[in-house]
């Protein structure tokens, strides 16, 4: 298309704020459609490349390169449904992460003990499994099931190999017991335990969950922006194919 705007690698690099080598990498990886070449071998790009670059850069913000790159490559391979399936999978993964975070938040709220009911201190030497079971009002078999599920990790006494629950292990057992009574599943309990161990307490974990929720909201917005840019690019390709009979208009013939 001789009347089309012609762009060089440096033009696209300035547009995206990347190096000219990165533009070449984008073309070689399929992020951009193939460029035409001048007789001297220089790449020449056109409007399709500009739009592809902007769509890709928008996708990066929400989806990251692990998803954005194969999405663009699949589009340029001519398989738009497969590209959209990759987008769907990314949204599904985000939904699962948000659901897991919501479950952790609900589980954490379920741990609030009534005012004035502080748990009895645990002896420094720890408690045996039967003592913990009596303290919580559960069977020893329940504690063994929770341990087998990876929720509890009592140490073993030397020689006898008896389980010994220190203050941290008793705390974890209390958490598991409380959440199981609230019908939380093991997969919902596990991140709460891991978070409390990592963050050092329920308040720190609550703050971390809040921060993670804000990050997921920001990512969702970025994904919406990226999906909108991809939609615009697909609409452009569709219109170009209708007009020219090709999926992406190139930069036109090289000057002589």
**Residue indicated by tokens 């909108």:** 228
Least confident of 8-12, 83-87, 115-119, 143-147: 115-119
Specify the pTM: 0.70
Q: Evaluate the CA torsion angle 127, 131, 136, 139 in order and state its sign.
A: positive
Helix, strand, coil abundance in the chain, percent, nearest 5: 65, 5, 30
Alpha carbon distance 105, 191 (integer Å): 10
| Ordered domains of the chain (ranges, CATH) | 9-97+220-244 (1.10.1660.10), 105-213 (1.10.1660.10)
N-terminal to C-terminal alpha carbon distance within the chain: 15
Mean pLDDT, residues 163-190: 87
- pLDDT over 80 (residue 182): no
Closest CA to 194 of 110, 118, 107: 107
Computed over every residue of the chain, the mean pLDDT equals 86
Helix or strand run (H / E) with residue 180: helix 167-181
- DSSP secondary structure code for residue 201 in this structure: S
pLDDT for 29-43, tens place per residue?
A: 999 999 888 888 888
- pLDDT over 70 (residue 117): no
Mean pLDDT, residues 166-195: 86
Confidence of residue 174 (pLDDT cuts 50, 70, 90): confident
Mean pLDDT, residues 152-175: 90
Give residue 1's pLDDT. 40
What number of H helices and E strands is found in the chain?
A: 10, 5
**Torsions phi, psi of 170, nearest 5?**
-65, -40
pLDDT for 192-227, tens place per residue?
A: 888 888 877 778 888 888 888 999 999 999 999 999
């Amino acid at each position: 298309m001789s009347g089309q705007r012609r762009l060089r690698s440096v033009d696209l690099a300035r547009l995206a704020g990347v190096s000219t080598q990165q533009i070449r990498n984008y073309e070689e990886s399929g992020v951009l459609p193939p460029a035409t070449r001048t007789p001297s071998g220089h790449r020449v790009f056109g409007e399709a490349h500009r739009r592809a670059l902007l769509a890709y850069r928008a996708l990066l913000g929400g989806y990251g390169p692990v998803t954005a790159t194969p999405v663009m490559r699949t589009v340029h391979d001519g398989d738009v449904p497969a590209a959209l399936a990759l987008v769907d999978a990314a949204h599904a993964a985000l939904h699962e992460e948000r659901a897991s975070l919501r479950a952790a938040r609900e589980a954490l709220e379920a741990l609030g003990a009534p005012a004035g009911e502080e748990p009895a201190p645990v002896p420094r030497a720890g408690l045996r499994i039967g003592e913990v079971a009596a303290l919580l009002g559960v069977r020893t078999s329940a504690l063994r099931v929770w341990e087998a599920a990876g929720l509890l990790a009592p140490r073993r006494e030397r020689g006898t190999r008896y389980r010994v629950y220190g203050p941290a292990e008793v705390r974890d057992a209390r958490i598991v017991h409380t959440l199981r009574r609230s019908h939380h599943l093991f997969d919902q309990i596990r991140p709460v335990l891991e978070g409390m161990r990592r963050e050092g307490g329920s308040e720190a974990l609550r703050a971390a969950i809040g921060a993670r929720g804000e990050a997921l909201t920001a990512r969702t917005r970025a994904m919406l922006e990226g999906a909108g840019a991809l939609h615009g690019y697909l609409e452009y390709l569709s219109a170009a194919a209708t007009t020219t009979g090709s999926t992406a208009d190139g930069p036109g013939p090289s000057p002589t």
